[in-house]
Amino acid sequence: MTVVDEVRIQNFRSIIDSEWVSLEDGVTTLVGPNEAGKTAILEALRRFEPNKGFNEDDVCDYVSSPDLENTAMVSIRLSGVTPASSSSRHTASFNQPDLLKIDREIDITIYKYFDGSYSVESADIESEITQYESSRQERSQNLHKDLKSLASSMLDELSEEDIGESQKEIESIATQSGNSGSIYSSFRSTDKVDIGGLQNQYQTLKGILVSARSDDLPSPLTSQAMELERKISSSRPAGDLFADHFFSTVLYQNPPIIDDSIKLDKVGQKEELLYSSLLEFIGIGPDEVEGMDPRERRSTIESAMSEFTSLFTKFWTQGEIRFDLDFVNGKATLLISDESEEEQYVSQRSRGFKEFLTFFLRLLTNNGGESFSNQVILLDDPGIHLHPERQKDLIEAISNLSDFNQILYSTHSPYMLDKSHINGLRVISSKNGHEGTIIESNLTKARELDGDSLEPVRGALGATFSDSLFGSNQTILVEGYTDRVYLRRFANIFQNSGRVEFAQDAGIVDMGGGAKWEKYTRFLESEGYDYVLLLDYDGVEDNSDRRIEEDDYLDKEDVIRIDSILDKTISEGDKVEIEDVFDREDFLRFVCDVYEDVSRGDFEMVGEGKQSIVEDVNIRFQKLRGQQGRDIPDFRKREIADYIDMQLKKHDVGEVLTEKSVENFTQLVNDINTSLPQSIRTKS
């Protein structure tokens, strides 16, 4: 999945200059009061997509004379992307430009300007971009002539029966002079070839050709059309290519809830696109319904709706759900059933369910009826009308969606904040005077360690602490993503098996690095809440022991070091992470499961030195990559954590892990239990 690392917005509505703002791989939350500028941020990102432009009303009022020609309105940065293998919404084809066939990882910055044009920078492929632009301008000079030639060939070689009422359109293109239409809005070069206009006219001719297709259609004509399509595609500016290849958005702003039913003759109208998308997913056109054999139609619907249900329940996990579609009296009706198997109309379901279903269908519409992934999904105040408990359900559904998409959503509800992922918060504020909207990524920047590290969030929301991120009285602070994944999964396993009881409201919070523990613990201490601090051991370079000892605010009994639960002597210089809690053989087996290009024999000495097993494996991957004929990817411990989490979710723990791993994690949870009374209780 292609991920946008950073964005920058300038001269757009209330935003003078956001500067570069980092985005999370999964979910980024824009939090702030009404009128702070959250919607402007989402709208600016939506406008980055090709074919979506800017107008005079979008220009920031706080800037007296903005340099719109040379200052990008929206810019994005991507790192480590490989154009040739990116999971773009566009598939590779015969006419894909050479610039998108690069098969190595690159860092790239794409800029979009007020006039809709793009530019691109990448030190990794600077020579390729220069070469492409030079040859592109040369190729583009003859495109208009080639288009007229194709139109003339169609008039000569297709019969009047093939062409029908399209003859005048073809003649108009064949006889036009110069470059028709306005200058292509996405063109920032000196030549004035209207690539966009040519592309639109070509699509008109292509549509006529497809309609006229028959067994005796002249193959040279088809070849001529395909060659022109290739030339047009390879004549687009480099910035356009990358923007179109890497960036696709859908903005969701609480449209009307989907109706219970729709008349078939209304399907396809703008206000009825949700049912249109559903029918497209099923594969039955509205004009085909009445003419189909009833049994064939029922079989097609059942098969497609089963697939639709499976796709929906990947993201909505609040109970068993099944969908069906019925055609009666010229209407299509969506029906829903749950464990009771009693069918209901959409209007009979909860507001939260209806909103998410509408949102889901909107995504489906944006993808032409196909299952969706690799989108930048923009949600403007989702779930605003939902009960707080249902907002928590929506957070879970959004999190599930982020496995396949990058998501940004705005909110001013304290219940729409994911307390386990506060690193994903961006505080949005609007200062008095002419400073415009400000985006703050660092929640502690304003006060550092002198006060409440989440004061900007609470101030932006106008919420009390009990309504905010740490809504529970117990919090477990962990260093990173994999700590949170493992601890949450094993806590659930042990609770279900009766080993320990894990309180429902205990929050596991990813601090985004062990160095940040002072900010978090001081915040919790000041509020009087119970917590446990779980830290790695970083060997001789680790000075956190001294910092912990010298911290007057910290209760030392609230600190657990992962090395303390391992049944082995830890020497000075050793490093221990949560992955070391696993039995060595278990963890290496998971590595080989996830990375098919390596085998157990590649890791004979791994896990026996002073480094953590993660560092050992990473070093070994680097060495393997240097071997001739070995195509070894980068090692990412997050991928291992996600894989183990999925295996433990699907199978019994004894089928996945050796007893040693289970014993170690039991000890870890019990240690947390001892340090956090009232949150986790050992069962006798």
Whichever domain contains 24, its CATH number is 3.40.50
Residue 76 is predicted with a pLDDT of 97
> Of 73-87, 108-122, 242-256, 552-566, which one has max mean pLDDT?
108-122
> Residue 528: which residues within 8 A CB-CB, separation 6 or more?
none
Q: Which residues pair with 174 in a beta bridge?
A: none
Residue 375 is predicted with a pLDDT of 85
Q: Which of 109, 69, 104 is nearest to 86 (CA)?
A: 104
Question: Would the pLDDT of 419 be above 80?
Answer: no
Task: Point out the least confidently predicted range of 274-278, 315-319, 575-579.
Answer: 315-319
> pLDDT band at residue 271, thresholds of 50, 70 and 90?
low
What does pLDDT average to over the chain?
80
Mean pLDDT of 554-577: 78
Question: If you ran DSSP here, which 8-state letter would residue 56 be given?
Answer: G
In this structure, what token pair is assigned to residue 578? 């949560």
Identify how many contiguous H helices and E strands the chain contains and give both numbers.
21, 22
What is the domain range of residue 502? 473-684
Mean pLDDT of 607-618: 80
> pLDDT band at residue 433, thresholds of 50, 70 and 90?
low
Task: Point out the least confidently predicted range of 296-305, 334-343, 519-528.
Answer: 519-528
Q: Which residues pair with 477 in a beta bridge?
A: 509, 533
Radius of gyration (Cα) for the chain, nearest Å? 29
Task: Point out the least confidently predicted range of 91-95, 108-112, 281-285.
Answer: 91-95
- In this structure, what are the phi and psi dihedrals at residue 14, rounded to the nearest 5 degrees? -85, 5
Residue 663 is predicted with a pLDDT of 92
Question: Would the pLDDT of 657 be above 60?
Answer: yes
> Residue 216: which residues within 8 A CB-CB, separation 6 or more?
none
Same domain, 278 and 184: no
Question: Would the pLDDT of 158 be above 60?
Answer: yes
Mean pLDDT of 241-257: 82
Q: Which residues pair with 533 in a beta bridge?
A: 477, 559
Residue 245 is predicted with a pLDDT of 87
Alpha helices in 367-480 (DSSP H): 388-401, 455-461
Same domain, 147 and 290: no
539: alpha, beta or left? (left if phi > 0; alpha if psi -120 to 50) = left
Same domain, 667 and 532: yes
Residue 597 lies in a domain: yes
- Rounded to whole angstroms, the Cα distance separating 507 from 28 reads 19
Q: At what angle do helices 143-157 and 219-233 cross, to 10 degrees?
A: 160
In the three-class reduction of DSSP (H, G, I as helix; E, B as strand; rest coil), residue 481 is classed as: helix
> Residue 332: which residues within 8 A CB-CB, separation 6 or more?
261, 262, 264, 267, 275, 278, 279, 286, 289, 325, 326
- Rounded to whole angstroms, the Cα distance separating 52 from 47 reads 5
Map tokens 């929301």 to a residue: 461
Mean pLDDT of 252-281: 79
Residue 429 lies in a domain: no
Question: Would the pLDDT of 371 be above 80?
Answer: no
Map tokens 């009881």 to a residue: 501
> pLDDT band at residue 140, thresholds of 50, 70 and 90?
confident
Task: Point out the least confidently predicted range of 169-173, 474-478, 507-511, 527-531.
Answer: 527-531
In the three-class reduction of DSSP (H, G, I as helix; E, B as strand; rest coil), residue 376 is classed as: strand
Of the residues 113, 137, 161, the one at which a domain ends: 137
Neighbour tally for 229: CB within 10 Å: 19
Q: How far is residue 507 from each of residues 411, 431, 464, 481, 522, measured CA to CA in Å?
A: 21, 33, 18, 14, 17
Q: Which residues pair with 561 in a beta bridge?
A: 535
- Rounded to whole angstroms, the Cα distance separating 589 from 591 reads 5
Same domain, 68 and 161: no
Mean pLDDT of 85-109: 70
Same domain, 122 and 35: yes
Residue 381 lies in a domain: no
Mean pLDDT of 606-610: 64
Residue 90 is predicted with a pLDDT of 39
Q: Which residues pair with 681 in a beta bridge?
A: 501
In this structure, what token pair is assigned to residue 295? 């049994």
Residue 465 lies in a domain: no
% residues pLDDT > 90 (the chain): 27
Cα separation of the two ends of the chain:
46
In this structure, what token pair is assigned to residue 283? 């594969």
Question: Would the pLDDT of 276 be above 90?
Answer: no
Alpha helices in 212-324 (DSSP H): 219-233, 238-246, 273-282, 294-313
Return the sign of the alpha-carbon dihedral for residues 579, 580, 581, 584. positive
Question: Would the pLDDT of 79 be above 70?
Answer: yes
Question: Would the pLDDT of 190 be above 70?
Answer: no
Question: Would the pLDDT of 520 be above 90?
Answer: no
Neighbour tally for 651: CB within 10 Å: 11
Question: If you ran DSSP here, which 8-state letter would residue 570 be given?
Answer: P
> pLDDT band at residue 217, thresholds of 50, 70 and 90?
low
Task: Point out the least confidently predicted range of 42-51, 119-128, 186-195, 437-446.
Answer: 186-195
Q: Which of 369, 373, 422 is nearest to 395 (CA)?
A: 422
Same domain, 521 and 655: yes
Q: Are strands 376-380 and 249-252 parallel, antiparallel or unpaired?
A: parallel
> Of 301-315, 373-387, 617-631, which one has max mean pLDDT?
301-315
Question: Would the pLDDT of 25 be above 50?
Answer: yes
Q: Which residues pair with 404 in a beta bridge?
A: none
Same domain, 281 and 343: yes
Q: Which of 584, 458, 590, 630 is nearest to 527 (CA)?
A: 458
Residue 428 lies in a domain: no
Label residues 6-31 b or e (16+ Cβ within 10 Å = b): bbbbbbbbbbbbbeebebbebbbbbb
Residue 407 lies in a domain: no
- Rounded to whole angstroms, the Cα distance separating 567 from 630 reads 36
Residue 286 is predicted with a pLDDT of 87
Mean pLDDT of 10-14: 95
> pLDDT band at residue 458, thresholds of 50, 70 and 90?
low
Question: Would the pLDDT of 164 be above 70?
Answer: yes
> pLDDT band at residue 642, thresholds of 50, 70 and 90?
very high
Of the residues 339, 373, 407, the one at which a domain ends: 373
Residue 197 is predicted with a pLDDT of 76
Residue 299 is predicted with a pLDDT of 94
Question: Would the pLDDT of 337 be above 90?
Answer: yes
Residue 86 is predicted with a pLDDT of 67
- Rounded to whole angstroms, the Cα distance separating 131 from 139 reads 12
In this structure, what token pair is assigned to residue 427? 């505080």
Same domain, 190 and 203: yes
Residue 44 is predicted with a pLDDT of 97
In this structure, what token pair is assigned to residue 4? 């946008």
> pLDDT band at residue 594, thresholds of 50, 70 and 90?
very high
Q: Are strands 322-328 and 474-478 parallel, antiparallel or unpaired?
A: unpaired
- What is this structure's pTM? 0.61
Please report how many Cα atoms fall inside a 13 Å half-sphere around the Cα of residue 416, on the Cβ side.
25
> Residue 223: which residues within 8 A CB-CB, separation 6 or more?
none
Question: Would the pLDDT of 229 be above 80?
Answer: yes
Same domain, 585 and 550: yes
Mean pLDDT of 283-297: 89
Map tokens 């994999």 to a residue: 482
> pLDDT band at residue 88, thresholds of 50, 70 and 90?
very low
The number of distinct structural domains making up the chain is 4
> Of 392-396, 456-460, 481-485, 537-541, which one has max mean pLDDT?
481-485
Same domain, 536 and 627: yes
Q: Which residue has the higher pLDDT, 546 or 99?
A: 99
Question: Could you give the maximum distance between any two Cα atoms of the chain, in Å?
Answer: 90
> Of 141-155, 494-508, 520-534, 584-598, which one has max mean pLDDT?
584-598
> pLDDT band at residue 510, thresholds of 50, 70 and 90?
confident
Mean pLDDT of 46-51: 90
Residue 588 lies in a domain: yes
Task: Point out the least confidently predicted range of 176-185, 191-200, 569-578.
Answer: 176-185
> Residue 77: which residues within 8 A CB-CB, separation 6 or more?
4, 5, 6, 7, 20, 107, 108, 109
| CA 276 to chain CA centroid, nearest Å | 25
Residue 4 is predicted with a pLDDT of 95
Question: If you ran DSSP here, which 8-state letter would residue 248 be given?
Answer: -
In the three-class reduction of DSSP (H, G, I as helix; E, B as strand; rest coil), residue 116 is classed as: coil
Of the residues 373, 394, 427, the one at which a domain ends: 373
Mean pLDDT of 465-477: 60
Q: Which of 335, 278, 324 is nearest to 301 (CA)?
A: 324
Map tokens 């073809």 to a residue: 170
Q: Are strands 559-561 and 331-337 parallel, antiparallel or unpaired?
A: unpaired
> pLDDT band at residue 39, thresholds of 50, 70 and 90?
very high
- Rounded to whole angstroms, the Cα distance separating 422 from 470 reads 10
Same domain, 109 and 167: no
- Rounded to whole angstroms, the Cα distance separating 486 from 641 reads 7
CA angle at 22 for the pair 382 and 505, rounded to the nearest 5°: 50
pLDDT per residue over 113-125, tens digit each? 999 989 999 999 9
Residue 442 lies in a domain: no
Question: Would the pLDDT of 448 be above 60?
Answer: no
Same domain, 515 and 654: yes
| CA 329 to chain CA centroid, nearest Å | 41
- Rounded to whole angstroms, the Cα distance separating 36 from 34 reads 5
